[in-house]
Amino acid sequence: MSRIVDPTDERVPIRRSLAARPARIGGTIALLDIAKPRGDMLIARIEERLAERFPGTTFKRYRKPTFAKPAPEELLRKIAAENDFVIEALAD
């Protein structure tokens, strides 16, 4: 991670554009547990409901080492490479 001093007048908020919205839900969905307590329960329930609504969809589980830090770059790359969608579960 490197940092730069913003060379602009700072009137434009720092914002990344969203990826284009897919036409339909399907393919492979990543379920990312950020390692908060009971996040796994929430993830399990989401998977159950989505599997009913979107038969034929594949689910892949991922977990961050700790919720206190951003996900490692390697994990983000892996999720992006292996999936069509990602759902990140916050819980407590």
Partner 1 sequence: MPEAVPQFSLTDQAGKSHMLLGDRPALVCFVKEDCPTCGLTMPLIERAYRAFGTRADVVAVGQDAPGNALMIERHGLSVPMLDDSALGVSYSHDVEIVPTIVMTGADGAELSRFEGFGKSDWQRIYAELARTTGLPEPRTEWEAFPESRPGCGSKSVEPGIAERLAAEASGSRLRARQIEIGAAEDEFEFMFERGLTDGLPVIPPTPERVIRMLAGTRRDPQEVIATVPPNMAPLTIEKVAANAVMAGCRPEYIPVVLAVLEAICTDEFNIHGVLATTAGATPVIVVNGPIRHRLGMNMKIAAMGSGNRANATIGRAVKLVLRNVGGARPGEIERSALGGPGKYTTCYPEWEERSPWEPMHVERGFERGDSVVTIFGLEPGPRLIVDQLSRTAHALAGSLGMGLEACWHPKLHHSGDVLLVVSPEHADTLARDGWSKADVRRRIQEVTARPIRELLPDSESGEGMALARFGLKNPTAEQLEQRIPKFHSPENINIIVAGGEAGKFSAVFGGWFSGKMGSISVSRKIEEVA
Chain residues that interact with partner 1, rule: CB under 8 A: 1-11, 14, 73, 76-77
In angstroms, what is the minimal distance from the CB of 65 to partner 1? 15
74/92 with CB nearer partner 1 = 74
10/92 with CB nearer partner 1 = 10
In angstroms, what is the minimal distance from the CB of 1 to partner 1? 5
In angstroms, what is the minimal distance from the CB of 68 to partner 1? 17
6/52 with CB nearer partner 1 = 6
Give 75: exposed, middle or buried? Use CB within 10 Å, 0-12, 13-18, 19+.
middle
Distance CA(41)–CA(36), nearest Å, equals: 10
